[in-house]
Amino acid sequence: MLSGKGFQKVFNVSGGIKAWHAKTAIGPQDLGLDLFTGKEEPLDVLKVAYSLEQGLREFYLQMGKEAENPKIEDLFAKLSEIEVKHQMSIYIAYNDISTKEVSKDEFEKMVEIKALEGGLSTREYLELFGSDLDSETQVISLAMSIEAQALDLYQRLSLKVGNRQSRDIINKIAKEEKAHLASLGKLMDSL
């Protein structure tokens, strides 16, 4: 149908979702989009993105505290450190485009945490993936699920946001999530 309607490059994903062996995302197409109005200026996008990273970081820290296995505790600590790096790049991006430079403390005061990365709450993630994570593989699998969800959210969001610069920022963050997902995949393969 698409090929005959002027679409230049159409590819059939052979086997469909059943043949898709990488991480999938869940939920309706508007999941998590309530965190954004679609009219955000670039600076607002960065504030919301920062809050999502912060929510996830706190989630990993909490999971690390509850872990009984030291290896699992270490892994959650590493995952939370990765989120700190993401947050730092968002903060730097904010100051790059803001007319007034803000300190990290000032920036954090402007940020309101409503959900974790990917648009789901801590409770929703735990209901989906369970809290009894007792192997490194399970922990990385959880992290990969969250990153897939985050990638999904940002890509759906880029269709909703009208401002071109905001959209570019969202696409850049989505690209980082994609890279993060790939590196978690490599980590999983190395175990």
Partner 1 sequence: MKWMQFFTPAKSLDFNETEKFIANHPGDEITILDVRQLSEYKESHIPGANLIPLPQLSDRLGELDPQKPVLVY
Per rule CB under 8 A, count of chain residues that contact partner 1: 43
Which amino acid is located at 155 in the chain? Q
CB 25 within 8 A of CB 152: yes
Q: Which of residues 122-141 bind partner 1 (CB under 8 A)?
A: none
Residues 145-184: x where in contact with partner 1 by CB under 8 A, - otherwise, as a string: ---xx-xx-xxx-xx-------x---x--xx--x---x--
Q: How far is the CB of 101 from partner 1 (least distance, A)?
A: 29
Site membership for partner 1, residue 3 (CB under 8 A):
yes
Please give the full DSSP string across 78-134, using - where no structure is assigned: HHHHHHHHHHHHHHHHHHHH-SS---HHHHHHT----S-TTS--HHHHHHHH-S---
Binder among 4, 68, 99, 105 for partner 1 (CB under 8 A): 4
Tell me 16's DSSP state.
Answer: G
Token readout for 65 is 């505290």
To the nearest 10 degrees (0 to 180), the angle between helices 122-129 and 136-160 is 130
Instruction: Compute the least distance from the CB of residue 191 to partner 1, in Å.
Output: 20
Interface residue with partner 1, options 26, 84, 92, 97 (CB under 8 A): 26
Nearer to partner 1, 90 or 174 (CB): 174
Q: Is 7 one of the binding residues for partner 1 (CB under 8 A)?
A: yes
Nearer to partner 1, 5 or 100 (CB): 5
Query: For residues 38 and 106, which CB has a smaller minimum distance to partner 1 in the complex?
Result: 38
Rounded Cα–Cα distance for residues 155 and 170 (Å) = 8
For 136-157, give one letter per residue: b (16+ CB within 10 A) or e: beebbbbbbbbbbbbbbbbebb
Residue 70 tokens, joined: 């030291």
**Residues 17, 100, 123, 186: which binds partner 1 (CB under 8 A)?**
17
- Torsion angles phi and psi, residue 96, rounded to 5: -60, -35
Residue in 5, 100, 123, 186 binding partner 1, rule: CB under 8 A: 5
Which stretches of the chain bind partner 1, using CB under 8 A? 1-17, 19-29, 148-149, 151-152, 154-156, 158-159, 167, 171, 174-175, 178, 182
